[in-house]
Amino acid sequence: MEQRIDRIKKQLHSQSYKLTPQREATVRVLLEHEDDHLSAEDVYMLVKEKYPEIGLATVYRTLELLTELKVVDKINFGDGVSRYDLRQEGADHFHHHLVCLECGAVDEIQEDLLGDVEKIVEKRWNFEIKDHRLTFHGICYRCRT
């Protein structure tokens, strides 16, 4: 935990941003909820518990900043809100998601399943891939009875 915060701090400094207490509190919330897919409002509520004076705008700004630095990814599952998902450290690709149409759960797939597909796309469409988003919609193992 502390090491990860330290690395994020360095990353901020390298772009001459500071790790203010508000930003640190926000990052901690994200780390403590790594498996969730929190909206800005969700993050705001959780940060308020440890830093009650924080404002919603600051949370939005921090999340935007972290997105810029590729510490988190901003994703959208089609309900009207953006969600923020911590990137795996050192991962060279963005993980995939399984969205259950039954119960709404969102599970993650950390493995990179797109290696071959990406080769084909790069070659056949002459497209230089920088990132990808892959989401499957269906019925999760819990709801399959």
Which residues on neighbouring strands pair with residue 38, listed in sequence order? 84
Does 117 sit near a copy of itself (CB under 8 A)?
yes
Residue 135 in the binding site for DNA (CB under 7 A)? no
- What does 89 interact with, of a copy of itself, DNA, none (CB < 5 to 8 A by kind)? none
The one-letter amino acid at 74: K
74, 55, 89, 121: CA torsion to nearest 10: 10
Given DNA, a copy of itself, none, residue 145, with its beta carbon under 5 to 8 Å by kind, binds: none
DSSP state of 78: S
CB-nearer residue toward a copy of itself: 13 or 119: 119
- By CB under 7 A, residue 13 contacts DNA: no
d(CA 99, CA 143): 12
Residue type, 99: V
CA distances in angstroms from 72 to 20, 89, 121, listed in the order given:
17, 10, 25
Per-residue contact string for residues 70-109; x = within reach of a copy of itself by CB under 8 A? ----x-x-x-------------------x--x-----x-x
Number of residues that bind a copy of itself (CB under 8 A): 32
143 is known to lie in a ligand binding site? yes
The H-or-E segment that residue 72 falls in is strand 72-76
- Within 10 angstroms of residue 44's Cβ, the number of other Cβ atoms is 20
The verdict on whether residue 33 carries a ligand-binding annotation is no
- Which residues carry a binding-site annotation for Fe cation? 132
Instruction: Provide the binding-site residues for a copy of itself, judged by CB under 8 A.
Output: 74, 76, 78, 98, 101, 107, 109, 113-114, 116-118, 120-121, 125-141, 144
